[in-house]
Structure 1
Amino acid sequence: MAENVHDVASLIVTTLGDVDTMRLQKLAYYSQAWHLATYGTVLFPDEIEAWTFGPVVPQLYSAHRGAYGVRTWVRGDPRRLDDRSRHLVNWVLETYGQLTGEELSRMTHAEAPWRHARAGLDDSERSNEPIDPTVMKEYFSRLRMSPAEAVSAAVGNARLEGYELSASTAKQLGRIATGESSADDIVREILARYHH
């Protein structure tokens, strides 16, 4: 674990060089999310909030406020990260680092943790609602699952929310998860049953 988010930011900037601040924020967010999903613990203790343009760590924002980009990050020390945390952040940079801040922002808008924190708000409304680490862990853990595990988790989550899915629906979800069928194919099959 990092002492604080600045250690992670320092590693990101040291690795990538010039980084626009929106990209820095989203890479810190994805580092936290994947650390939660992989190791079950936070990478840094600082809160992440669901701002208009996606997840933002206020402690980072206060350090780069007014700057479009940064070249160095002297507030943190990447050496304070243990080997597995450093390895995970480097994996995040390899996976997401080529994307722009705007692309990363759009991705976060499509994902459950940001949407959950902003429930009931329009995308353009201001908010400083925290993003729940438990929701981050659950969402990103599902991305690591096999298709069978993902379907089982989805059926279980539906049950927790009061919905009972039939065996045929679970089978259809499995076909989507394995790539055997697309979601559009399944929707067409369902609609065809209602038209007969």
Structure 2
Amino acid sequence: MKGDNDQKKGMISCYDVAKYFLAQVDEDAGDLISNLKLQKLLYYAQGFHLALYDEPLFPELIEAWTHGPVVPELYYYYKKYGVGAIPCPKDVDFSIYDERTKSLLDEVYSVFGQFSAWKLRNMTHEEEPWKLAAQTSGQISHQSMKEYFKTQIDCEEAV
């Protein structure tokens, strides 16, 4: 079947991850996700997925930009919203996310979704993957994310 070869088994795209996060927003509670915040949530999701499962959550590259990690393809897709809130997508297909992925994305959203875009930006600036990439190629490698986020998991488990 053609579709099975287009993406690695079970791999979703950055757009799928973005839609999942955007669908979690509780606008009545005053939640909103801007492009800046969305980029940081994808970075954390990718990092923890690499650390836990030794494989990327989505195939698109993450780069170190001035305001932290960015998936360029996704940034340009949502750029039209400027610094404002991105509306909840109407076409989220929750059947494409397996239980492991849902669990990870829910955890990332519950931990990091509570912070403002600028707080997340500042947090990523203190982290090795962004600092390393900002000084070198500009691309945040899967290897640097995996190594860094493994230390974060180890820290949480030690508590």
Is this a same-fold pair by TM over 0.5?
yes
The Cα shift of 1:73 comes to 3.3
Give yes or no for contact 2:35–2:78 (8 Å, CA) kept in 1: yes
Give the ranges of 4+ consecutive aligned residues of structure 1 lying more than 6 Å apart after TM superposition: none
| Gap change, CA 1:58 and 1:76, over 3 Å in 2 | farther
**Secondary structure of the corresponding residue to residue 70 of structure 1:** coil
Pair 1:35 & 2:49 matched: yes
Correspondences of 1:130-149 after superposition (within 5 Å): 130-145=139-154
**Percent identity of paired positions between Structure 1 and Structure 2:** 35
Which fold has the larger relative contact order, with Cα–Cα distance below 8 Å and residues 6 or more apart in sequence? 2
Mind listing any 5+ residue stretches in structure 1 that lack a counterpart? 121-127, 148-177, 180-196
Counterpart selection for 2:64 from 50, 53, 60:
50
Pair 1:79 & 2:95 matched: yes
| Gap change, CA 1:137 and 1:31, over 3 Å in 2 | same
The Cα shift of 1:47 comes to 0.4
The Cα shift of 1:75 comes to 7.2
The Cα shift of 1:20 comes to 1.2
- Equivalent pairs counted in the alignment come to 142
For 1:154, the equivalent position in structure 2 comes to: none
**Secondary structure of the corresponding residue to residue 59 of structure 2:** coil
The Cα shift of 1:28 comes to 0.8
| Gap change, CA 1:146 and 1:23, over 3 Å in 2 | closer
Correspondences of 1:135-174 after superposition (within 5 Å): 135-145=144-154
Correspondences of 1:1-150 after superposition (within 5 Å): 1-17=10-26, 18-67=32-81, 68=83, 69-73=85-89, 77-119=93-135, 129-145=138-154
**Secondary structure of the corresponding residue to residue 64 of structure 2:** strand
Calculate the TM-score normalised by the size of structure 2.
0.81
**Secondary structure of the corresponding residue to residue 69 of structure 2:** strand
| Gap change, CA 1:76 and 1:25, over 3 Å in 2 | farther
Calculate the TM-score normalised by the size of structure 1.
0.66
Distance, in Å, in 2 between the alignment partners of 1:76 and 1:129 is 31
For 1:163, the equivalent position in structure 2 comes to: none
The Cα shift of 1:16 comes to 1.6
Mind listing any 5+ residue stretches in structure 2 that lack a counterpart? 1-9, 27-31
